[in-house]
Structure 1
Amino acid sequence: MTEPATGAPYWYGDREVVAVLEALREFRRADQDMRRRAAAGMGMNETSMRALQVVVAAERQGRTVSPHHLARALGISTASTTKLLDRLVASGHLVRSPHPHDRRAVVVTATPHAHREIRDRLAAMHQQMADVAARVPARSRAPVRRFLEEMAGLLDAQDAAPLEPAADAVDLAAAD
């Protein structure tokens, strides 16, 4: 297989498909940048911000969050979760409490301070996002939603299998 000509889409042929995928990539980049800025503005890293999102979302659904659940949701070790929780408790964003039905277990809840800070930082942006979504014609909303859900599912299903080295690659370890 030969490399594509300069300026040509790498593995897509249809220019309209390329334009849609480029717009999706630009949205993902802007979303990641916004999350970094929001986390930095709250004096925390992105994992801490994501932890707050997990806890607040669970609370809004009437569910409790354990440190174990948080570790799974964030894809980090229990030791890293303990350090993360220590930081968020010290900063006044989260509280650890005994589980209401199992006193041996712990639940994590967001403080009023965390809710205020998230609301103050994100409410205007969320409203602007809702305004943009409302401008999508009603008949197009379901197809757009399905497109985004399918893309998310596709990305979630990708594994991290290592790439194979090229057959003509030089073995640097053997050369030593």
Structure 2
Amino acid sequence: MENRDSAETADRISENLYRVGMKAGSSDLVDVSDVPEAAMEEIAQLMNALARLREAETLLSEASRKYMKLSEQDMRALHYLIVAKRQGEIVTPGMIAAHLRISAASTTKLLNRLERDNHITRRLHPRDRRAFVIEVTPETEASAKQTVGRQQARRFYAAARLTSEERAAVTRFLTDMAEEISLTRADWAGTTVSEG
């Protein structure tokens, strides 16, 4: 009984994440003084939908990492390599470091681990004999596509169900929201490189 009550309470809190403190005229984080109560309810529903999307993505990411026995950073590197291969691009360790925002030393450790576990191969660069080319192995690429890739690709169906105007509105909204929460707007956030 206690577990069910706890789960119900957790669900109520989750559903109200963006309603608390978002009553018209009462937020201490944003100026909502000119926003009607009906719009506040719609905004709360929209923000909760975004929270559910983030949660679904987090759960999918965790399940895929567990299935493939990889870290989040490993998965990001492999995803980058798969996309690059699809586009016919050559990938170097420096490109992976830049994409993951990690140091050269951290990149070397990551690549050593992925190569040891047969997820990637390294070979000499065809035009620069001082550099290496990094490629995902066919087995890892197939495994990623058949599991995580197939599940992630299902987002296409949600986008396809929208009209052209709806897609434009959603794209505008997501682009605008990304800009609003960008770290370039946060004086407190540094722009340091992660040493993952």
Q: How does 1:57-68 map to 2 (within 5 A)?
A: 57-68=83-94
Determine helix, strand or coil for the equivalent of 2:74.
helix
Work out the percentage of aligned pairs sharing the same amino acid: 34
Matched residue, 1:8: 21
Q: Displacement, 1:161?
A: 4.1
Q: Please give the per-residue CA displacement for 1:62-82, whole angstroms capped at 9, x wherever unaligned.
A: 211111110111011111111
Distance 2:110 2:90 in 1: 18
Matched residue, 1:98: 124
Matched residue, 2:7: none
Q: Given the alignment of the two structures, is residue 128 of structure 1 paired with residue 141 of structure 2, yes or no? A: no
Q: How does 1:25-174 map to 2 (within 5 A)?
A: 25-158=51-184, 161-162=187-188
Equivalent residue pairs, number: 158
Determine helix, strand or coil for the equivalent of 2:162.
coil
Aligned 8 A contact 2:60 2:148 in 1: no
Amino acid paired to 1:8: G
Amino acid paired to 2:101: G
Q: Displacement, 1:124?
A: 3.5
Please give the root-mean-square deviation of Cα atoms over the aligned residues, in Å: 2.2
Does the C-alpha gap of structure 1 residues 77 and 160 become closer, same or farther in structure 2, counting only changes over 3 Å?
farther
Segments of structure 1 that go 5 or more residues without pairing to the other structure are 1-5, 164-176
Amino acid paired to 2:156: A
Does the C-alpha gap of structure 1 residues 88 and 154 become closer, same or farther in structure 2, counting only changes over 3 Å?
farther
Q: What's the TM-score once normalised by structure 2's chain length?
A: 0.71
The one of the two structures with greater contact order (alpha-carbon pairs below 8 A, sep at least 6) is 2
Q: Displacement, 1:96?
A: 0.8
Amino acid paired to 1:48: D
Q: What's the TM-score once normalised by structure 1's chain length?
A: 0.79
Deviates more, 1:70-79 or 1:21-30: 21-30
Q: Please give the per-residue CA displacement for 1:26-72, whole angstroms capped at 9, x wherever unaligned.
A: 21232122112111110111000000011111122221111111011
